[in-house]
Amino acid sequence: MVTACGLSKAFGDVHAVRGIDLDIRPGEVYGFLGPNGAGKSTIMKMIYAMVRPDAGTLDVAGIDVIAEPRRAKARLGVVPQDNNLDPDLTVRQNLTVYARYYGIPKKIAHRRADELLEFMQLTEKRDVVIYDLSGGMQRRLVLIRGLINEPQVLILDEPTTGLDPQARQHVWQRIRSLKRRGLTILITTHYMDEAAHLCDRLSIMDRGRILVTGTPRDLIDSLPAAEVVEAHTDNPEQALRAGSHLGEGEQYGDGVYWFVAGGAIDLDPIVKAGVAQVARRPANLEDVFLQLTGRDLGE
């Protein structure tokens, strides 16, 4: 549904994307995970023709985006990282005026706008101006604006950033229901749990490159063990020594990590060594990233 080959983009001497390949299947929810500046948004923008690739090929639903941006964009729903709603218009007008850019007849546009407002529980706000919406409501409106043309492919650039936990749950639920309708969804995020929850497959990126691609399960299963003991302290070397009975630990920044198989584990020696923050938890995507890059995924 979305295929790319050797896609690259540099802004001056910043190499934002360095030769990535993609093969995203119809109906798939595909995630991009990576720290700030990894190049996630740049990939998204190349797909909706806001950024022109320096090299490589890029197809959406069989249409060459570079040669025929107009046709490709007609099939895409775009939710950019920034809420670029039209502040001169009301909530509902933001949808109906946007529908006009796609050439959707007025009647259908109005019906869809009302359905979508309902879908995202914004019906009450339909005649409000954008400035009077909270950040989270604006985000939800941008989300449904991306659906007004009934796209085949939906691009979500950090859809839940700035949402409270409840709203995030709500949006996740909506994304899953869109997936059930067969929509292909590309999503970038900084949240492990979001990626693990929503994505059929995901790519972990850093510095313009894709490091690994796979299902969340496969990526986590590729780790040395299913569980992790994680400690944070001012004196990581000491913690490493105190936990030597757990095997060889790994240190990244102020964090120390041991991959451990199931079964009983004694954390006392580490606690006794004065490490206040220590816990055992299931391995997650963050650990995959740490293993690959030695860096934190979040920031």
Ligand X SMILES: Nc1ncnc2c1ncn2[C@@H]1O[C@H](COP(=O)(O)OP(=O)(O)OP(=O)(O)O)[C@@H](O)[C@H]1O
**Which of other proteins, ligand X, Mg ion, none is residue 273 near (CB under 5 to 8 Å by kind)?**
none
| 153 and 145 Cβ atoms separated by less than 8 Å | no
Least gap, CB of 101 to other proteins (angstroms)? 4
Residue 64 in the binding site for other proteins (CB under 8 A):
no
Block residue for tokens 């796979």: 214
Distance CA 101, CA 74 (A): 9
Asked if 98 touches other proteins (CB under 8 A), the answer is yes
The answer to whether residue 203 forms part of the interface with ligand X (CB under 6 A) is no
Could you tell which of other proteins, ligand X, Mg ion, none binds residue 217, using a CB distance below 5 to 8 A set by kind? Answer: none
Nearest distance from residue 155's CB to ligand X, in Å? 12
Closest to ligand X by CB, 37 or 135 = 37
We find the least distance from the C-beta atom of residue 43 to Mg ion, in angstroms, to be: 9
Assess 48 for contact with other proteins (CB under 8 A). Answer: yes
Does position 233 interact with Mg ion (CB under 5 A)? The reply is no
Q: Which two tokens stand for residue 138?
A: 């604006």
Candidates 40, 73, 92, 139: give the one binding other proteins (CB under 8 A).
73
Report which residue type is found at 132.
D
Stretch that binds other proteins, among 45-53, 110-118, 210-218, 247-255 (CB under 8 A): 45-53
Question: In this complex, which beta carbon is closest to other proteins, that of residue 102 or of residue 252?
Answer: 102
| Interface with Mg ion, residue 41, by CB under 5 A | yes
Q: Which of 17, 29, 58, 85 binds other proteins (CB under 8 A)?
A: 85
Which listed residue (31, 34, 56, 77) binds ligand X by CB under 6 A?
34
Helices then strands, counting H and E runs in the chain, come out as 11, 14
Helices marked H in 14-164: 40-47, 69-74, 91-101, 106-119, 135-145
Identified binder of ligand X from the candidate list 8, 41, 83, 184, rule CB under 6 A: 41
Q: Could you tell me if 19 and 56 are in contact, meaning their C-beta atoms sit under 8 angstroms apart?
A: yes
Tokens 């757990």 sit at which residue? Answer: 246
Q: Where are the beta strands (DSSP E) in the chain?
A: 2-11, 14-24, 29-33, 55-60, 63-64, 76-79, 153-157, 184-189, 201-206, 209-214, 227-232, 250-252, 255-260, 277-282
Which parts of 58-97 interact with ligand X (CB under 6 A)?
Answer: 81
Alpha-carbon distance 121 to 99, whole Å? 19
Q: Is there a contact between 209 and 275 (Cβ–Cβ < 8 Å)?
A: no
Residues in contact with 274: Cβ distance below 8 Å, sequence separation at least 6, in sequence order: 233, 235, 238
Mark 80-106 as b/e (b = at least 16 C-beta within 10 Å): bbebebeeeebbbbbbbbbbeeeebee
- Min dist. Cβ of residue 158 to Mg ion (A): 6
Interface residue with ligand X among 6, 26, 37, 135 (CB under 6 A) is 37
Which residues contribute to the site for other proteins (CB under 8 A)?
Answer: 11, 45, 48-52, 69-71, 73-74, 76, 78, 80, 82, 84-89, 93, 97-98, 100-103, 149
Residues of this chain that interact with ligand X (CB under 6 A) are 11, 14, 16, 34, 36-42, 81
